[in-house]
Chain A
Amino acid sequence: NAGVTQTPKFQVLKTGQSMTLQCAQDMNHNSMYWYRQDPGMGLRLIYYSASEGTTDKGEVPNGYNVSRLNKREFSLRLESAAPSQTSVYFCASIPPPPARYNEQFFGPGTRLTVL
Chain B
Amino acid sequence: AQSVTQLGSHVSVSEGALVLLRCNYSSSVPPYLFWYVQYPNQGLQLLLKYTTGATLVKGINGFEAEFKKSETSFHLTKPSAHMSDAAEYFCAVSDRRNNDMRFGAGTRLTVKP
A: which residues have CB within 8 A of B?
4, 31, 33, 35, 40-45, 48, 50, 90, 92, 94, 101-104, 106-109
Contact = CB atoms under 8 A, between A and B. Distances in A.
Contacts of B36: 106
B99 A31 contact: yes
B106 A107 contact: no
Contact of A102 (B43, B45, B101, B103): B101
The A interface is mostly helix, strand or loop, or mixed, namely strand
Interface residues of B, number: 23
Given A31-B99, A50-B99, A103-B49, A108 B106 contact: no
Interface of B: 4, 6, 9, 32, 34, 36, 41-46, 49, 51, 90, 94, 99, 101-106
17 contacts: A41-B105, A42-B6, A42-B90, A42-B106, A44-B103, A101-B32, A101-B51, A101-B94, A102-B32, A102-B99, A103-B34, A103-B46, A104-B44, A104-B46, A106-B43, A107-B43, A109-B42
